[in-house]
Amino acid sequence: MAAAHPDRRIELWFEDEARVGQKGRTTHRWWLRGQRPSGLCDKRFTSAYLFAAVEPATGAEVALVLPTVSTAAMSRFLAELSTQIAPDTHAVLVLDQAGWHGARALVVPPNLTLVPLPPYSPELNPVERLWLYLRERYLSHRLLEDYGAVVDACCAAWTALIQEPGRIQSLTSYPWPPCLNS
C-alpha cells in the first residue's frame, strides 16, 4: 500500500458490525455456585446495527448506528470514515468478507483501500473484542422498549467506551499486525 501511495501516510484500520436489539445475548455473570442468576428475557426482535472502525495504533474510532446492514449502509459508513481520515493519509481498512463488503455497488472513497480477512476468522479482527466489552458492560441484561431505545443504548454504550482513555487501544492491540508493535 505504501508503494501505491508514496505521497501519503498509511494507517491501518479495522471494521466490523454488530447487531444490537431487544433479543439480547447471554453474558458472563458472577453468581452463587449451583444457582442460576436471574436475567431478563425479551421476545421482541427490533434491532439496529452498530458499524465501527478503529485504528488500534492510536485509538482513533468512527461509529454509526444504522437500521440495516446492506451495501447502501456500508457505503454510508465508508463515506463517514473517509471524512475522518487526514488529507495526507490513506487508510487500509481490514474487514470480514460479508456480502455487502465486496458488493459491486459498494462506494469506496479514494482514500480507503478495503482488505478482506480470510473466511471464518473473526478472531483476527480486533473490533470483535469491542463487541464483547460493550455487551458485557453496557448492552446485556436490559429490556429496550422500542427502536429508539435500541439506538439510544448503542449510542450510550459507544460514548461510554470512548470516554475511557486508552480502552480502545487496550482492547484492540493485537500482536499479529507488525505495524502495531513498532
Structural domains in the chain, CATH included, are 9-23+42-177 (3.30.420.10)
Mean pLDDT, all residues of the chain: 87
Give pLDDT tens digits for 119-151. Answer: 988 888 999 999 999 988 988 777 778 899 889
Distance CA 93, CA 109 (A): 11
Residue 182 has pLDDT above 50, yes or no: no
Write out the E strands in the chain.
9-21, 47-55, 60-66, 89-95, 112-116
Distance CA 139, CA 21 (A): 9
Residue 111 has pLDDT above 60, yes or no: yes
Q: Report residue 181's pLDDT band, with 50, 70 and 90 as the boundaries.
A: very low
Residue 85: predicted pLDDT: 96
Q: What percent of the chain has pLDDT over 90?
A: 62
For 14, phi and psi rounded to 5 degrees?
A: -125, 145
Residue 27: predicted pLDDT: 55
Residue 49 has pLDDT above 50, yes or no: yes
Q: Report residue 173's pLDDT band, with 50, 70 and 90 as the boundaries.
A: confident
The whole-number average pLDDT for the span 164-172 is 94
- The one-letter code for the residue type at 62 is V
Residue 110 has pLDDT above 60, yes or no: yes
Residue 92: predicted pLDDT: 96
Residue 51 has pLDDT above 50, yes or no: yes
SS3 content of the chain, % helix, strand, coil (to 5): 30, 25, 45
Residue 81 has pLDDT above 80, yes or no: yes
